[in-house]
Each structure stands twice: as C-alpha cells, then as structure tokens.
Structure 1
Amino acid sequence: MNRISFLLLATLALPVAAQELSMSSQKKFTDEQINFFESKIRPQLIEHCYKCHAKEGDKVRGGLLLDTRSASLRGGDTGPAVVPGNLNESLLYEAITYEDSSLEMPPKYKLPAHVIADFKTWIEMGAPDPRTDEADNKPAEKYSSTIDVEAAREEHWAWQVPQKHPVPSTSHPEWARNEIDHFVLAKLEESGLEPNADADPRTFLRRLSFDLIGLPPTPEQTGGFVKTWATDPDKAIHSAVDFMLDSDHYGERWGRHWMDVARYAESTGKEINAAFPHAWRYRDYLVDSFNEDKPFDQFVQEQIAGDLMQFETAEQQAEQIIATGFLAIGTKGLNETNGRQFRFDVVDEQIDTASQAILGTTVACARCHDHKFDPIPMSDYYAMAGIFLSSKTYYGTASSIQNRRSSSLIEVGGDLPSAHDKSLSLAEMIELQFQHDALLKRQQDLQQQIREARSNGEEELAGRLQQQILGTVSQIGAARARLNAVDKDGNYRQLVMGMQDGDTPFDSQILIRGEVENPTDERVPRGFVQVIKTDDEQPIPDSQSGRLQLARWMTSPENPMTARVFANRTWHWLFGQGIVKTVDNFGTTGQEPTHPELLDHLAIRFIELEWSVKDLIKEIVTSRAYRMSSDYAEEKFLKDPENKLVWRANKRRLDAESMRDSILFVSGKLDSSRPNASLIAQVGESFIGRGRGITDIDSYLTQAEFNHRSVYLPIVRDLLPDSLALFDFADPSLVLGARESTIVPSQALFLMNSDFLQSSADAMGRNLFDTVNGDRGKFGYLAFYRCYSRPPTDEESRKTKAYFERFIATAKETGIDEQQARALAGSTFLQSLLSSAEFQYVN
C-alpha cells in the first residue's frame, strides 16, 4: 500500500474511538496489515518493550502493558499508548520519537529511524494487532512447539495437493469455449445467476491489449479485429492473443507484474538508502524470461538457486546467477551495528519474500514464535534460515561511515549488455586513482586536525571537522567502487547481484523471541516447511546450503502451493481479482477460494502445459468468462455485489505504468526500445535522498527525456516518480501481488497540471494535425479512436467541432494567430481526453 493510501486510511480513522476499534473484529484488517504487525511491530515490542511493559516482564512500569492489544489501547498512567489512526494521541509513538524529553522510550537509546517509521505506518493504518487479552508469555529459554503439523495439513484446503475434478455439467454447455467456462457457469447456475453477454469487439480488444501488453490497440489493429470478429469471433480472439503474446511488449507487461511480487527496486531503502546500480540486470532477466516463455518451474529454480544449476554456456551461467538477484534486491539496514543482527534481518527478508511470492505462505511470521495462525513452527522458520545463512548475498553498495554493511558483487563471464558505452582510457584511470588517493590524504589530514583541535579543547571545531570526514569517507567509497568496476585495462567488469553458497554450510540455532543474543543450544537441520509435503523431497547434503533442494521442492509437481499460487496470480492479473482474493496469503487467515475446483483445475493444467505461462494465459483469455462485458445488472449485483462468482468482467482503472505508457503511446512519444541499463546504473555507486546522490527522480527523468516504457523507470525506494507514486504503484519494499486502487484529489491535480501530460498532449496534437493535414473533423475522429479505441458519437463530434470553433475565435480575439490557436485548441482538447475516466479505465 502506498503513502497516499495510508494517509487516506488515517483520515478515515480519526473520528473512530479507540474503544470501538478495540472491540471490533480483527477481520477488518487485511492480511497484509496483520503480516506487517507480525513482521515489523511485534518483534520490536518483544525486544525493546516487554522487559518493562509485559505481564511476564521484570517489572511493569507506569502501569503500562504492551503485550496485548486491549492493554496497548488502554495505556498506562499517562494515557492510551496507541490510538489507531491518530499519531498525535498515541503516547507510544511520542515516546519512541524522543520529541518530549520527559517521555523517551526506550530510556537508554532511541530506536532506529526505520523502526520508528514502521510504528508510524502501523498506527496510521489503524494499528492492526491480532493479539488477544492473553499476553504473549515470555517463552522458556528452550524451544518447544505444540503444533500438530500432520493433523493441521488435513484441516486446510491449501496444504492439500490439487485434485483433478470432473468438468461440471451445466444447463447451457454451448456457452462455454473451454473447460474454464464450465466451472464458472456451474457456480453461477448454483446461485441462480446468468453470465453477462459478450463485450463488444472494441471493448474486448482494448481489455485484452492492456492485459497482455499494457498498451492500447492501434486504430488499424482495432479495425482489423472488428472486421474478423464480425464473421468469426473465436478466430479474431485467437489471432489477437497469439500476436500479443509474441510481442516484446508482453514480457515488459508481465515482467512488471513479477517485479511487484519480487519487490524490485534499485536501492536499499531505510536510512542509508544506497543505490543498487546493477539491479537492472535482474529486471531485464524478468522481461526476457516472460518473452521466452521460460517454464515457470525453471524460472523459480533460477531465482532461488540459479548459481547452483547446470549450464552450457558462460552466458547461461551468468543469466542464472543474475536470476538469484531475486534474493539480493531486498531492503537492507546498512547502518546496523550488530553484524549478526544484520545477517538475520537479511535472511528474514529473503524467507518472507520467497515464501509469499512462490508459496503464498507467510513463513516469516514464525521468526519470534510459532506462527499464530498457520501450522508453521519456529523450527520450520529456522530450518529455512539455515539454508540462507549458509549462502552469501552479494548486493554491492558504496561503502561509507554510515554504510557499515557494504557488499561485493559477483563477476560473471559471457557477452552481456553493459551500462557503459566505452572503456576507461589510461588517462581516465590515472585521474580516478589520483582522486581516490587525494581523498585518502584529505581524510588523514582531517583526522590530524581533529586530534589537534581536541588537544586544544576546541570541541566545536572538532565536531565540524568530523562531519567533513563523514562526507570524505563516502567519497572514498564511491571512488573505490568506480576503480573496482574496471579491470587493469580499463574495461568494465561484468558485475551482478546475486547469491552463492557459503564456504561451510551450517544449521541455524533457534533464536528465542527472534533475538540474536538469545539462541537455544540446539540447531535445526536445514529443511523446508513441514505442512507443505512432497514425497520427492530431496535431502540436503552437508556440503551444500540447501538452496538447490529448496528450489526443487518448491517446484515439485507434488507441491500443493506453487502452481496454485501462480495460477491464482494469473487469474488476478487478468480478471482484477483472484480466485483467492488474498493472492500472497493462502494460509488460514487468507480468504477461501471462490471456485476451489477451478483453481485446482488451473493448477493441474499449468503443470500439464509444462509450466508455460503463455499457454496458461491463452487458455484463460480465450474463455467465454474472460469475454463477458462489464455492464451493470441490478438483479445480479444484489445477489453478488463483489462479483465473486464472475457474472461480469470487472471494470478496472489502468495501473500507473499502463497509464503513463498509454499517454506516451497515443501521443507518438513512446520509445519502444529497451534503454541501455538504467539511470541508476549510469549514476553508479551513490546514496539516495536529501543532499546525497540522487535527490529528485522526476527532474532527472525530465532532463534525460526518458520516454521508454515504465518498466524501465528507475525504482528507488522512498523516491518514486510522481507518475507512479500517485497512482497506487506497488511498495517496492514488500511482496505485493495485488495493488490498491484509490481515487484521491492529487491524482486529478497531477493530470491537470503535470508537464508530462501537457507536453504529451502537445506532441499528440502536432502528430494528429500532420496525419490529417489540418482537417479538424478528422482530427477529432482519430483522437477518439486513439484514446478510446472507438469513433466518436455524433454528439461528441458536434461538441468537438463547436469547441474548436469557440476556442480559436476567442484566442484570435486576444491576438493569437490562427495556427497557434488551432494548436492550443487541439492540445487542450487532447488533454481532456487523456484525463478522462474512459481513457483511465478498462471495461
């Protein structure tokens, strides 16, 4: 969920009393919000607060307990600790920010900025908290679990292997185009509903085009499709589907979908927020993998253990290592002073991402205690942790005094694209070495000046000099990174992010309450989640990390989760809502499938299709269910207002990327080529934020005249382009298979005032007037066709003509010549079309 969504939730929550919130059902919180509490908030409460503010703590201070939801809302002697949605009234937040010197908690140290930010987010979203009035008792220093995994496996549908169900019979089998339709129609008939009629061909093609390639069809494509549809709709659809799946734009569209799931970003996020100048290689790997229709089981295996898989060429080996960037591009707390804590935090993020993205399971919720809702004991979490602890994560980042956790990168062979057009000359290398050495000399001089200042009692001067050293050390780190990026001849080395096995694999200890200072004596053998059972599970050799075995277990045809989860994601991306609505959580707190037999059918078909994503998509979009119109029908709506049974298509707003790309496309400005590397790669090793490296993405994009597709935009954590951030772009720090869809005033204001939209309307106007030789009638006709995939109605044509006449006449009265007035009329008219609901929505 993005920042705007949080602000909206906070505004809505302000008038709600804390008591009412505390008594309301936990079902009002989403699974993502509960997971946020479990992964971000509960561990911090346990580590920093429970000693003084829990029933089992050393001593309850200030009458405040924080080990249950009701106690947190009630507060202590000075008032409520947490008021959902209201930061100003939440004393817990005031205490951890140290804004009041009389109320500072923890008393001996201030929490890291990213932890404080997490508490802020948590309170603003309504303080989701699944804890009951039974406190989290302090666990014994020895771990034991009461979870009966074998029994639990039989109690929840997702843990069981998909079954091949007979295709149901229906009253109107002639309606169906494939087996999917029989499952959908059977559910509708059970509820006394009928499917909507088919969408008209123009509406259908526009929907299909956005779903498959993220762009609208051209007027020529629409005309040809409508003509074929008139005699053979099925032929028209199959031809269009094949054409789009063969387009390079398909990989850009569906690669971007996976980037949401993989929390793709080009910086570490958090306080230090260092750039990942090599992350673009993983982005390109995703685009290429979808375009090549790489089997999904291979796709998953490469991202978990590509470095350990067999290869035939140096290029293939490099590609497979690049794929493991999936595990390397997560957020990093680079200023963490405790190296062991940092290592476990990185591993926790990897477990959370891999388990949600591939298995639809929130394994990371078992870091501090047995999973509260699913049959996942802590021992399963630490069995997986041992696998990742036995691996090395390479992510780069420039070193500095603040960045205590910089990393090297992996050098690969083969002939790969480069972020740089040419090698460094000998003179450039000498200059770079000279700069590096001069910075080292400056650091030494500053250190000597600090010693002299302190010996003379000039502490203020010493403090100022110390600040200069901080900046100098960062410059040294960046210079060293530039030197390390080339070989002795000045050729840029092929460096990539990714994973490799460690020198000596080992099993992890269980950490009581997830605290690195509180390990048990016993170690958990490296392994997998027990409740997800496969008979072909491979043992992990002592000499290996276990990532390769983990990857094979995840993609086993007997694994009940992987095929189901991705089939459901595919349905969500095509229908706007998954068969399981909680696409990242198939556990007991997730929603039940609306069509369980259909989901099993899709999972089994996906495997039968040899894990071909293109074939799975084609089977879905050629169904009659996908063809339905989105028309409203009151009687059906009253029976199924959320359209869970799929009686119509869901009307959907374009996502941020499709909106930007479509504006560029219809205006004639879109550069369809793949850009060289990334803007972040061109900047190189740097830091993000105020006064550091890149500070304004939008200005940078404007200066670079970046008109490539949005999948290639720089995705920097905490500094997204406005064209994405304002329109519910996925939070690149989280696994997010389903984006929010909000409507807020800032979106309309952006479209009204953005230089991007105005310049696009100007360019489109020039392009259209050139195409139609200045004919205003044809101008309006073609404008409607490009923007809406349909011709204007007679009324729209009349109003368009009247608008041009009135605008030009008024402009000429102010001294503007006719040609300029015509251009302004065309531009403002087009801006209104590009800002309209019809342009922004897909029916």
Structure 2
Amino acid sequence: WGRHWLDVVRYADTAGETADFPTPLSYKYRNWVIDAINDDLSYDRFLLHQLAGDLVAEADKSLGDDDYRRLRIATGFVAISRRFGFNSEKYHNLTIQDTIDTLGQAVLGLSLGCARCHDHKYDPVNTEDYYSWYGIFASTRYSFPGSEEKKKPYDLYPVVRADRVEQARMAHDAQRKKLDDEIRPLALQFSLLKIGLADAEAAHPAERKRTVTISPWRAYLAQRLLNQHVRNRNAHQGFHVWHRDNLPMIGVNVSKIPLKVPGDVPPRTLVVHPAEKDGVGIAWRSPISGRVRISGRVIDRHDCGDSVRWHVDRLDRSGLQPLASAGNTRAGTTPISGEALESVAVKAGDYLQLVLVPQGNHGCDLTQVELEIRENGKADGTPRRWRLVPDVIDRFQVSNPHPGRGETGETWSFFRAQVDRGVGWANTNELKPLVLELDGGKAALAALARRLEGLQRKRKALALREPVGLHYGVIDQDKPVDARIQIRGDRAKLGESVVRRNLEILGGEKLARPAGSGRLELARWLTRASNPLMSRVMANRVWRGHFGRGLVATENDFGVRGEQPSHPELLDWLASRFREAKFSVKAIHRLIMNSAAYRRSSRFDESAAGIDPNARLLWRFNRRRLSAEEIRDSILFVSGDLDPSFGGAHPFPAEGSWTSFSQHSPFYGLYPSSRRSLFLMQQRLKRHPFLALFDGADPNVSTPRRELTTVPTQSLYLMNSEFVHRQSAALAGRVLAGSASRSERLQRGWRMTLSRSATSQEQAEARRFLLAYTESLDEAVGDRSRRMAWAALMRTLLTRNEFLYVD
C-alpha cells in the first residue's frame, strides 16, 4: 500500500530536469511512507507530517531523536517535486506548480493547475486561490538536487537537532558496535563450519572424520570475501560482478564488445575497483607443494584518477611474506613481475595474494588484471598452470571462492583487502591451524545461519537509521512572502499580490502567522473535520486499491469533469466511517475486506452482464492482472530468489562524477536487485524497463490508477528475457530438489506457482512437453538437458494468465 501512495505523489529517485540528476536521499521518504502505512499512522497526521513535519518537529522540544528524524524526512513529499530546465532554480515556478497540482489531486481530488493561468473553467477554484497557495510554497526552501547549470546538490537538511548530534552519534555507534560484536564471531563460526562440512563431504566416506583442520589464512579470507553478486550490472549486458556494499568490486565482461561502465572494459577481460579505504584482493590457494612462477599485468582502464598500487604476498603458517609491489599510472600498464616472483616456494594450502589498493583518490580506479601462476621445475610431465581470467570468466558467479576450471574447490578467492594487506592481522594472531568439531552437521549450520540472518537484519535496519545524516526535504524561507499573480502563467508578467490563505471553497482563512511559510496552517486546513473532500478522496483510493476502480472512477478528479460516483451513499458512508475510526486506514481496509462485495466471486453471469457488463454495480469481483511490481515479485518469490530485506540507498555514481550529466547525456542507471520491486530505483526521464513495459506508474505525474495494456512485447519478454529464464531455472531447481518421482515434481511445480494441484490432463501434457523438449536439445547438452526441460516447463507456468491474474 505504500506503493499506491507513491504512485499518487509521483515518487522518483531522480529530479526530472534536462539531465535527470540523481536524488540519492529520496529513498528515505519512500521508506518513511512504507513505515507510516505499516504503523497505521492516522491519515490526518500522515498528511500533516508530509506538508509540515519540519515545523512540527521544531515546535516540540520533547521529541526523541527517532521521532524528530521521521518528521523531518516526511517532508520529502514536497521536496521530490519535479524539476525543470537547464537551470532548475530558474524554473522553480514550474516545480511549485507540480507541488500544488499533486497536492490538490492527492488530497482534494481537484485539478488546481488550470488556475495558474486563468480561473478554473469548471471547478470553484480561481487564480487568486492558486496564488494564495503558491505563496506558501514560494516561502518554502526545497532541497536542491543539482542541475545541468549547477552540478552539485545543496540545501540538504540534518535528521537530528544540532544540540543532539554528538549524543545521537554515540548512541547509534554503541548499538552498532554491540551488533557487530555479536555478528563477527558468529559469521566466522558460520564460514568455518561451512568450509569444514564441505571438506568433510569431499573426503572419501572411509576417510571422513568428526573434526577438520582449517588453515588460519583460510579463516581470514572467509570473513572478507566479496559476498554480493550482480549480473549485467547497471544494464551493461555481459558485465557481471562480485562486490561488497558496492565497492570493492571485481567484474568480468563476458560479451564480445567493449563496455563503458564507466571506464572501459574490453571483451573477455577481468577488472577490479578498490573502495575508498579498502583494496580488492585476489587469492590463489595452492593445491601443490613445490615452486611456482607468478606473472601478469595491471592496466588502468579509467580516463581519470591516479590508478592503483599492486602487491603480491605469500600467506603461510609463518605469516605474510611480501614478494613484490609496484604502482601503476593513469592510462598506464605495469607488469606483475620481479625477481622474487620467478620462483616462489609453496606448500599445499598456502595462499598467494594479489592486492590492489588506491594510491590517493580511489575514484576512477577501474583496473584490468591478468594473472598467471605456473608450476616450476616439473621433470615428469607438463607443468601445471593457473590463469585467472580463463579459469573464472565463463562461470564467474558460480561461487566465491571460485573452483577455477574444476567443478569444486577453492582455487581463486575474491575479497576485501585491508590497505596493510593483512600484515597487522598476521602480527596479532597466532597462526595456528584451527581444529573444527563437526558435531551437529548441516542442522547446526542451518541454525547458525538463521541466528546470523536475524542479527544481520537488525544491523541493516540500524544502518538505514543513520544518526546524523541528511535528508531530502524542506524548511521555511528566511523571509516568507506573498506571491504575485503571474498573468497567463508568465512569470515575467506579474499582477497583484495575493495573501497566503486557504482556498475559498474550504473557508478562505488567511494565515494567523504570516512570519512562517504557512505550510503548517495549510496542513491543518486540509485535515480538519469540516473538509469533506479529504476523507472521501482517501476512502475512494482504498476502495480502488481493492477493486481496481474507485467508486469515483476518476480518483484524482472529484470535480465537475470527473465521473459521478457509482454508489454515492456508499462513498459517503465509507468517508463517515473513516472519520469515526480516527482516520485509521487499516480500519477501512478491514471494513472493505469483510464486505460481501469484496468476497464476491468473479464467476460470470450472463443476465447480470447484459445489464452491467463492466460490473460497476459490483455483482461480481472483476479479475485483475497483477501490477508490474507484483509480477516481478511473484516470479522472484516462487523461484526462491526474492530478498525480503528492506531497501536502502541506491548505488548512484559518486557525486564528483555528476559533471558529465547533461541534456545530451543525462543520468541513467539500472541497479539489478532481488529485493521487492518497491525498492527498485525509479527514474523520471528514462523509466525502469520492466516497470514501464508492464504499466508501472509514470513518476512524472500523479498516477491514481494504472491503465493496463496488453501488448506483444509483454509476452515476448515473458518468453525470452534473461530474467524469466534465470528464475524459471531456479524454480526448476527447487521443484527437482523437493520430490523424487516425476508426478510428485509436477504437483510441486503446480502448487508452488498456481497454488493448486495439476489435473491428470495437465500432467499428461507436461510429460509430453518434457519428453519433446529434451529430444529437441543438442546431445552435447548431456546431463543439463533434464534441468533445461524442467526450466522450460516452469516458464510455461510463470507466463500463464492463471499466474499473472488475481481471479
């Protein structure tokens, strides 16, 4: 339901002006909306906080830090108004118009924008009304997102009072430290137990033991592995990465063309990028005892920055031994070479690490890496060699550690490296092998995983509540003023001044405190009991959310040009019950969902359809296609890939790189995620391709109801897209893993996707499909053919109307 409100208030993560600058802090308002609706914040306070939360917060000195933060963030409603033009400050009058239009439609169900140029032709709103509200928002200072003219954001406001900054930071740090102190040993215990069980499973049954021995460096790396992987990062097809909180990162270009990500990545290559305070490491675990030669090169692939410094070290029982290092230069190439690298002694289980660290500024440090380790002095045959890029590129995301050319094992590890490369850790720890008890086996591992996941959820939630951060919002101008009428909407032709006041149809009261902007009084005018529109408009929106169409079908227009309500008495009754429930939105949900109309079947009745073909009189419940977000989330859920965690900030490019955004090259980003679609980045000028294809909301205008389309490209996407193919393969894996017989697997697939059992006819058709599909595959596919056939069958279930519609 948070998404419904975000549709109405045209939420986006970009500004919408010519270069569509990112607004990285908008997500805090999105999350505030979700929390407010989940907490059933009364609708009158919900509106009050969005219009004037900053003023409420400053007036109440007894507020705690969390309540103060929430009130300030709520004003993102005003701040996310769309920006216009090359210099959006110059066209701020259009941003104020967007604020007024959205407020009028969202709260009153009235289109006020016409009155900017002339008295409204149909509804009782005149030009003086419009500019009385215009003065209120002209007396408000909006956060500035940046524009083509001025490349940097400013007027971002703190989420905590100035006198509480240090206390808030200390309290937050104490909470974080407590959680980290719990998570750190558990994470290490989990990683080691996972390694130990894998080693035990790999051993011959006769050799399996109840204990395993793990080298200390293996434990060290296990805590630092890059643990997040993304395919086709930022919509760059073929660019797959492992990362940890965005940076550091290691990625490969598996495509046949160069990619600009930014920075140039040639085809079939591997690149790395360090973080601000951490390097990126690549470790090779030796399967042999003997001597090896290390070689390779690093190539700067960014047209800015100062490149990286590389280090090669041996990690063994005695500690960390530096072998060689050198610095690279911008646009330079440096060989990984040195006398010490020609013949390096290793024992089985030792590690050789290549660490790349920033030399100064970590920005623009994208670096191509080539690395080869070759066995020396082997007299009885061809020496073995391990080549990083050929070893990992075709199965890059199979796992980290990566097995290399083999099916199992830990040949290559990608990890976050400290700038000292582990020297400090080695000097403060006894480098003794760890003996791990395996009592409890997989059950113990699962219990540990659940405990760790719970703590990590708390840690992520705490991170979202940054103690002394900034937010995207509004405050009052230092000197609020009344606005002058812009004749025919032309800001260069000014007429008489209009005092800030309420609309005439709502009472027309003037401000009691002209020294302020008037937002607080405006919010109280809109939410008082004598305003008949607020409760009617919201009750109608809740009805639309359940039935697909409001009792007033023009949910944003209750004026003369809007449609008449299909059930006027019912709408009045719902509005009355809404007020009696003290504007509890959840109370209206319960009221509607317990009604006979909501619980009615969607079964067709020919006689009723002859009288009311569209079921406006509610004789049936109209079937409804899932929204774009619901389609994507449902597919992720049944495949087992849905990440239920709460979304946070998006990985926008660093602010220093925004100078390149222009009307000819506007910002564009696409950040793949397995979280719910509610948390996808919403862009104004170039919408998210999946959401746009399946009729998601237009973030440029208030969207009261999504108009659904049925076009060939939707079917083509569901049949051919990589996303659907990947999820159907994951779903097939779940189905095959859960049952033994083909019949059981078919029933499991049907129940997981369609929430019912397959009929005998469907089972027979599915068997024929599996046989025909398997026979059509190239024999070279071998053992994969069965999984591919099941994935294709699951894809047919995911693309059925029965899956895509609520019936």
- TM-score normalised by L of structure 2: 0.60
What's the counterpart of residue 396 of structure 2?
none
Q: Deviations over 1:563-601 (max 9, x none)?
A: 110100000010011000000111110000011111011
Once residues 543 and 655 of structure 2 are traced to their aligned partners in structure 1, the CA distance between those partners, rounded to angstroms, is 38
Which residue identity is paired with 1:736?
A: T
**2:580 alignment counterpart:** 608
Q: Highest Rg: 1 or 2? A: 2
| Offset, 1:436 | 11
SS of 2:561 mapped into structure 1: coil
- Counterpart of 1:365 (choices 108, 111, 114) is 114
Inter-CA distance 672–684: structure 2 relative to 1 (3 Å threshold): farther
Please tell me whether residue 744 in structure 1 is matched to residue 711 in structure 2.
yes
Once residues 152 and 640 of structure 2 are traced to their aligned partners in structure 1, the CA distance between those partners, rounded to angstroms, is: 45
Cα distance in 2 for residues equivalent to 1:690 and 1:776: 56
Q: Which of 291, 301, 310 is equivalent to 2:48?
A: 301
In the other structure, the counterpart of 1:388 is 137
1:408 Cα deviation after fit: 2.3
Letter in 1 for 2:705: A
Q: Is the 8 A contact 1:297 1:555 kept in 2?
A: yes
Q: Does 1:330 align with 2:81?
A: yes
SS in 2 for 1:523: strand
Q: Distance in 2 between matches of 1:760 and 1:426?
A: 34
- Amino acid corresponding to residue 277 of structure 1 in structure 2: P
Give the one of 127, 131, 139 matched to 1:378: 127
SS of the residue 2:746 aligns to? helix
CA 1:395/1:768 → structure 2, altered by over 3 Å: closer, same or farther? farther
- Pick from 800, 804, 807: which aligns with 1:836? 800
* Whole-angstrom distance in 1 between the partners of 2:652 and 2:802: 35
Preserved CA contact (<8 Å) 1:526 1:540: no
Tell me by how many angstroms 1:422 deviates: 11
Aligned to 2:358: none
Query: 2:628 is matched with which residue?
Result: 656
- Using the TM superposition, give the Cα deviation of residue 655 of structure 1 relative to its aligned residue in structure 2, in angstroms: 0.6
Q: Deviations over 1:33-82 (max 9, x none)?
A: xxxxxxxxxxxxxxxxxxxxxxxxxxxxxxxxxxxxxxxxxxxxxxxxxx
Taking a change above 3 Å as real, the CA distance of residues 426 and 745 of structure 1, as seen in their structure-2 partners, is closer
- 2:91 counterpart SS class: helix
Paired letter, 2:686: L
Q: 2:608 is matched with which residue: 633, 636, 640?
A: 636
Q: Tell me how far apart the structure 2 counterparts of residues 513 and 653 of structure 1 sit (CA, whole Å).
A: 43
Which residue of structure 2 aligns with residue 316 of structure 1? 67
The one of 797, 814, 836 equivalent to 2:779 is 814
Of the three residues 479, 484, 497, the one matched with 1:504 is: 479
Matches within 5 A, 1:36-47: none
Preserved CA contact (<8 Å) 1:275 1:684: no
Greater fraction of residues in helix: 1
Aligned to 1:711: 678
* Deviation of 1:683 (Å): 7.5
Cα gap change, 1:425 to 1:745, in 2 (>3 Å): closer
**Change beyond 3 A, Cα 1:679–1:646:** farther
- Return the alpha-carbon distance in structure 2 between the equivalents of residues 731 and 282 of structure 1: 18
SS across alignment from 1:550: helix
Residue in 1 aligned with 2:8?
Answer: 261
For residues 561 and 621 of structure 1, do their structure 2 counterparts lie closer, same or farther at Cα, with a shift above 3 Å needed?
same
* Contact 2:246-2:651 within 8 A present in 1 as well: no
Deviations 1:741-796 (A, max 9, x none): 000111111111110000000000001111114x2211111211121121112211
What secondary structure is seen at the aligned counterpart in 1 of 2:504? coil
Distance 1:681 1:376, change over 3 A: farther
What is residue 621 of structure 1 aligned with on the other side? 593
Counterpart for residue 381 of structure 2: none
Match of 2:647 among 675, 680, 703: 675
Q: Tell me which amino acid in the other structure corresponds to 2:799.
A: S
Distance (Å, rounded) in 1 between the aligned partners of 2:763 and 2:622: 29
> Counterpart of 2:550?
578
Aligned to 1:161: none
Give the structure 1 partner of residue 263 of structure 2: none
Structure 1 equivalent of residue 503 of structure 2: 529
Contact residue 266 and residue 716 of structure 1 kept, 8 A: yes
Change in 2 beyond 3 A, CA 1:421/1:798: closer
Deviations along 1:445-483, whole A, 9 cap, x unmatched?
xxxxxxxxxxxxxxxxxxxxxxxxxxxxxx99xxxxxxx
Distance 1:651 1:684, change over 3 A: farther
- How big is each residue's C-alpha offset from its partner over 1:366-408, in whole Å with a ceiling of 9 and x where there is no partner? 00000111110100000001111111111433x65x3489542
**Residue equivalent to 2:520:** 548
Alignment counterpart, residue 592 of structure 1, candidates 564, 582, 605? 564
User: How many residue pairs were aligned?
Assistant: 518
Report the Cα distance in structure 2 between the residues aligned to 1:677 and 1:510, rounded to whole angstroms: 40
Counterpart AA for 2:586: K
Mark the CA change 1:691 to 1:388 in structure 2 (over 3 Å): closer, same or farther.
closer
Contact 1:275-1:688 within 8 A present in 2 as well: no
Q: Does 1:777 pair with 2:526?
A: no
Q: Is the 8 A contact 1:336 1:405 kept in 2?
A: no
Inter-partner Cα distance in structure 2 for 1:396 and 1:708:
26
In the TM superposition, 1:281-292 aligns within 5 A as 281-292=28-39
The Cα shift of 1:557 comes to 1.5
Aligned partner of 1:515 among 486, 490, 499: 490
State the SS of the aligned residue for 2:474: strand
Change (3 A) 1:715 1:630: same
Structure 2 letter corresponding to 1:547: R
Q: 2:537 aligns with which of 565, 570, 573?
A: 565
Q: Are the structure 2 counterparts of residues 802 and 768 from structure 1 closer, same or farther at C-alpha, using a change threshold of 3 Å?
A: same
State the 1:814 CA deviation: 2.9
Match of 1:825 in 2: 789
Are the equivalent residues in 2 in contact too, given 1:282–1:322 (CA < 8 A)?
Answer: yes
Q: State how far apart, in whole Å, the 2-side matches of 1:741 and 1:332 are.
A: 27
Q: Which residue matches 1:729? A: 696
Is 2:27 the counterpart of 1:280?
yes
Question: Closer, same or farther in 2 for the Cα pair 1:684/1:735, shift >3 Å?
Answer: farther
Question: Within 1, Cα distance between the matches of 2:711 and 2:99?
Answer: 34
Distance in structure 2 (CA, Å) of the matches to 1:828 and 1:842: 23
Call closer, same or farther: CA 1:275–1:426 in 2, change over 3 Å.
closer
Q: Structure 1: how far apart are the matches of 2:581 and 2:151?
A: 47
**Alpha-carbon spacing, 1:383–1:695, altered in 2? closer, same or farther (3 Å):** closer
Normalised to the residue count of structure 1, the TM-score between the two structures is: 0.58
The structure carrying a bigger strand percent of its residues is 2
Instruction: Give secondary structure in 2 for the equivalent of 1:715.
Output: coil
Structure 1: distance between partners of 2:724 and 2:34: 27
Query: Which runs of no fewer than 5 residues in structure 2 stay unpaired?
Result: 161-167, 177-243, 249-273, 279-303, 307-362, 365-465
**CA–CA distance in structure 2, aligned partners of residues 679 and 731 of structure 1:** 22
Residue type of the alignment partner of 2:804: Q
SS of the residue corresponding to residue 392 of structure 1 reads strand
1:680–1:714 contact (8 Å) kept in structure 2? no
Does the CA contact (< 8 Å) of 1:655 and 1:729 recur in 2? yes
* Percent of pairs with identical residues: 36
* Cα separation, partners in 2 of 1:583 and 1:661, compared to 1, 3 Å: same
CA distance in 2, matches of 1:345, 1:694: 21
CA distance in 1, matches of 2:736, 2:151: 58
- Runs (5+) with no aligned partner, structure 1: 1-253, 429-434, 438-474, 477-490
User: What is the CA RMSD across the aligned residues, in angstroms?
Assistant: 3.1
How many angstroms does 1:538 deviate by?
7.6
State the Cα deviation string for residues 516-554 of structure 1 (Å, max 9, x = none).
Answer: 11111x3211012211349xx684312111100111111
Secondary structure of the residue that 1:509 maps to in structure 2?
A: strand
SS in 2 for 1:531: helix
AA partner of residue 585 (structure 1): D
Q: CA deviation at 1:810?
A: 4.6
